[in-house]
């Protein structure tokens, strides 16, 4: 079946450090891949997405590349800020069945000044 696995947290970094949050997926169809961010006390917000292999999604300094050969969609940022502290969710949906969204368990990021 379709599923998403992401690295467990929490991840604690100092400000300006490099961030990687790993995400791998299993999909039977043609998945679109997403990263959502949840700030404390808020709902999920779409951070970036990629809809086909080799696409790179980017937003607010974050990037992720859809790697079909490794079934991965790792989230990266070159220099994190305290304001990036949040929970990050990797997710996928499959073409022809956009009602099925599969979310990872979430990775909490703590950035210290």
How far apart are the C-alpha atoms of 35 and 39, rounded to whole Å? 13
Decide whether 17 or 38 has the Cβ nearer to another protein: 38
Question: Residue 104: which of 50, 44, 57, 55 has the closest Cα?
Answer: 44
Question: Least distance to another protein from the beta carbon of 82, Å?
Answer: 22
Decide whether 17 or 44 has the Cβ nearer to another protein: 44
How far apart are the C-alpha atoms of 21 and 5, rounded to whole Å? 11
Question: Least distance to another protein from the beta carbon of 113, Å?
Answer: 27
Decide whether 2 or 76 has the Cβ nearer to another protein: 2
3-class SS of residue 70: coil
Binding site for another protein (CB under 8 A): 4, 32, 34, 36, 41-46, 49, 51, 89, 93, 98-101, 103-106
């Amino acid at each position: 079946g379709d599923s998403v696995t992401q690295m467990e947290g929490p991840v604690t970094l100092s400000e300006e450090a490099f961030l990687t949050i790993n995400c791998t997926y299993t999909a039977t169809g043609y998945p679109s891949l997403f990263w959502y961010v949840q700030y404390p006390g808020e709902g999920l917000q779409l951070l970036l997405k990629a809809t086909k292999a080799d696409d790179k999604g980017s937003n607010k300094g974050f990037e992720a590349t859809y790697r079909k050969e490794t079934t991965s969609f790792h989230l990266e940022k070159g220099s994190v800020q305290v304001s990036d502290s949040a929970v990050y969710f990797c997710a996928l949906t499959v073409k022809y069945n956009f009602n099925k969204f599969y979310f990872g368990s979430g990775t909490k990021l703590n950035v210290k000044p």
